[in-house]
Amino acid sequence: RKEVEQDPGPFNVPEGATVAFNCTYSNSASQSFFWYRQDCRKEPKLLMSVYSSGNEDGRFTAQLNRASQYISLLIRDSKLSDSATYLCVVNPPGNTGKLIFGQGTTLQVKP
């Protein structure tokens, strides 16, 4: 089993739709969690951190479920510009600096 697993998609949704991605992680003692966004042939960039209490940034909401060992990203009112690959990132125990990246979920927002 991979340490961090994501459905690679692609998720094809119309503009204005709400879409959600999940990401599961195997190590229950993992410490912190992030979502990164990567545009085609570009470098990844931090989208948001994921806190135990959940957090929201505009149309984006991230949640953590430690009991079931998954994090989620919800995008409301999808825009064409949201088309990208979303990477789930987990910081394992020990704060070694060795972040673990999921393979990413690709989102295509259509007009």
Partner 1 sequence: DAGITQSPRHKVTETGTPVTLRCHQTENHRYMYWYRQDPGHGLRLIHYSYGVKDTDKGEVSDGYSVSRSKTEDFLLTLESATSSQTSVYFCAISESRTGAGELFFGEGSRLTVL
In the stretch 77-106, what mask flags binding to partner 1 with x, by CB under 8 A? Answer: ----------x---x---xxxxx-xxxx--
Smallest gap from Cβ 106 to partner 1, in A, equals: 11
Smallest gap from Cβ 24 to partner 1, in A, equals: 14
Report the site for partner 1 in 1-40 (rule: CB under 8 A).
4, 8, 31-32, 36
Instruction: Classify residue 50 as exposed, middle or buried by CB count within 10 Å of its CB (0-12, 13-18, 19+).
Output: buried
Cα distance between residue 23 and residue 72, in whole Å: 6
User: Which residues are CB-neighbours of 94 under 8 A, at least 6 positions away?
Assistant: none
In the stretch 42-81, what mask flags binding to partner 1 with x, by CB under 8 A? Answer: xxxxx--x--------------------------------
Cα distance between residue 30 and residue 39, in whole Å: 27
**Rounded alpha-carbon distances, angstroms, from residue 6 to 23, 95, 96, 103:** 5, 22, 23, 7
Smallest gap from Cβ 100 to partner 1, in A, equals: 8
- 108 residue type, one letter: Q
Please give the residue ranges that form the binding site for partner 1 (CB under 8 A): 4, 8, 31-32, 36, 42-46, 49, 87, 91, 95-99, 101-104
